[in-house]
Structure 1
Amino acid sequence: MVINSEDHTHITNQYSAGTDVPRLMIAQACFDEHTTVTDRRSQVRQQARWQTKRWLNQVWRTAAVPFSSPVKNAVAPKTKCFEFNVIHTQQGQPIGFHPDLGVRGVSVSHSGIWYAIATASQPSLGIDLQCYRHFGSSARQWAFTAGECTQSMTLLCAAWAVREAFLKSHGVGLPHLLRNIDIDWQQQRVSDPAANLSERMFRMVYGLYWVCAICYCSESERPEWDVATLSTTVPLTVSSARSTSLC
């Protein structure tokens, strides 16, 4: 699904998504001509916060059913004119909350002038977006295995994104010895038994300037989701058992 920032026209809809399907938005922040470099970081965060509530309401206003409902794909009930708010757990993990519809999982990440937002019906959700960059020797020793350190910059950024998204899906943040988190690229599974963190599934989205990882509970059905880009024509590649290119 590609979304135009002006009219939000749905150009491509890959799959008929149910309420258990993670929905992902990747956006480039907008700046005016007077924005300084030092102001950009705070503006990216502000725009990400604003778009998070907007994305929650857009995704769930037609597909939402009460979080406790046992009926999958049930007809959405009529609700009052409330909107989702983003609240945080004691560990700092964000949660989407609606007075009528209840709780929805949400995760936010930003890097450079880009940000990513994911939402799903289950709260065990984590996302991390990394603009492509090089890592120093100390970061390599802390975040990557010996075998990974010989790989390309793209792979290193992808591994970093998977591990951070994994931690976020558990409500855990840094510092954490990232290299101890095991990534099974073939099965798209990630785990850290030594830290008592249960296994998650993950998926990847690659762009020209960044890589984005999303982790979700492995007990859930393997999702296929719509990917939305806002205010950009950058081509995306979604990694899965059946690779799909969007542009």
Structure 2
Amino acid sequence: MVTNSKDYTRMTSQYSAGTDVPRLMIAQACFDEHTTVADRLSQVRQQARWQTKRWLNQVWQTTDASLSHLAESSVAQKTKCFEFNIIYTQQGQPFGFHPDFGVRGVSVSHSGIWYAIATASQPSLGVDLQCYRPFGTSARQWAFTTEECTQSMTLLCATWAVREAFLKSHGVGLPHLLRTIDIDWQQQRVSDPAANLSERMFWLVYGLYWVCAICYCPESEPPVLETLSTAVPLTVSSARSTSLC
């Protein structure tokens, strides 16, 4: 479903008040023994879409404290009949809409057999997951500065993930000259003034096979990693985060 800018503006007025805490989920797709390699990409996408809707309902219908007053009202009974739906703007940016809870920001990414889902009460949210891979000459010239091209494959994938998540948080997709996006690794901030794209905070999660970046509004609290369907050790690039495994 695609909505126009007028509908989007009207619905975004229904965002919940209070502190915004982005939530991130990373999962591995499941396949049966008959799934061919050619079918895997399609199944990863299908599972990511299904899990996105399921997770939106789980997060916002059970943990949104600002709506706790509905618990004893007639609205609460009506709410049980509805679920979040994923709606897309004309630019292709998704968001979750619920007739009672309003609009929630959402972003989805997949790479290989992995996918990541992020949600927040604000729409300025983007996530990108990259399985570790080398980059060819053209991709390096387009996505990285000369200095960045000397970095390891892991750091190049992290740089790519941050920049693509940043674009998603603005509702902008590829193609875009990624190397012009400035990353402040110490302050965990990313911006592109030349393209008139405002600053975002970013947060990184490193896994054994991938790196995942989430970009969000500077006014928001640091993200929370809610669910992870794997026992692979992780490193989270936030001093406020606890060790996860």
- TM-score by length of structure 1 reads 0.86
Partner residue, 1:160:
160
Partner residue, 1:82:
82
CA contact (8 A) 2:145 2:179 kept: yes
- Structure 2: segments with no counterpart, 5+ residues: 1-17, 71-75
1:177-216 superposed matches below 5 A: 177-216=177-216
CA contact (8 A) 2:23 2:223 kept: no
Partner residue, 1:238:
236
Partners of 1:227 and 1:134 in 2: CA distance:
30
1:145 and 2:126 matched: no
CA contact (8 A) 1:63 1:76 kept: no
Partner residue, 1:33:
33
**One-letter code of the match for 1:186?**
Q
Partner residue, 1:169:
169
Partners of 2:102 and 2:35 in 1: CA distance:
38
- TM-score by length of structure 2 reads 0.87
SS of match in other structure, 2:68: coil
Partner residue, 1:13:
none
CA contact (8 A) 1:207 1:237 kept: yes
CA contact (8 A) 2:190 2:201 kept: yes
Post-superposition shift, 1:104?
0.2
Partners of 1:181 and 1:157 in 2: CA distance:
15
SS of match in other structure, 2:228: strand
Bigger Cα displacement from structure 2, 36-45 vs 19-28: 19-28
SS of match in other structure, 2:235: strand
CA displacement, residues 63-121 of structure 1 (integer Å, 9 cap, x when unaligned): 236xxxxxxx4625223421000000010000000011000000000000000000001
SS of match in other structure, 1:39: helix
Partners of 1:107 and 1:76 in 2: CA distance:
28
Partner residue, 1:92:
92
CA contact (8 A) 1:64 1:76 kept: no
**One-letter code of the match for 1:63?**
T
Partner residue, 2:221:
222
Structure (1 or 2) with the greater helix fraction: 2
Q: Percent identity?
A: 83
Cα RMSD for the two superposed structures: 1.4
Post-superposition shift, 1:241?
2.7
Runs (4+) of structure 1 exceeding 4 A deviation are none
Query: CA distance change for structure 1 residues 20 and 93 in 2, over 3 Å: closer, same or farther?
Result: same
Matched length: 221
Partners of 1:23 and 1:156 in 2: CA distance:
24
CA displacement, residues 178-231 of structure 1 (integer Å, 9 cap, x when unaligned): 00000000000000000000000000011000000000112x23324134112x
**One-letter code of the match for 1:23?**
R
CA contact (8 A) 1:19 1:63 kept: no
- Structure 1: segments with no counterpart, 5+ residues: 1-17, 66-72
Partner residue, 1:134:
134
CA contact (8 A) 2:25 2:118 kept: yes
CA contact (8 A) 1:105 1:119 kept: yes
Partners of 2:151 and 2:40 in 1: CA distance:
31
Query: CA distance change for structure 1 residues 59 and 76 in 2, over 3 Å: closer, same or farther?
Result: farther
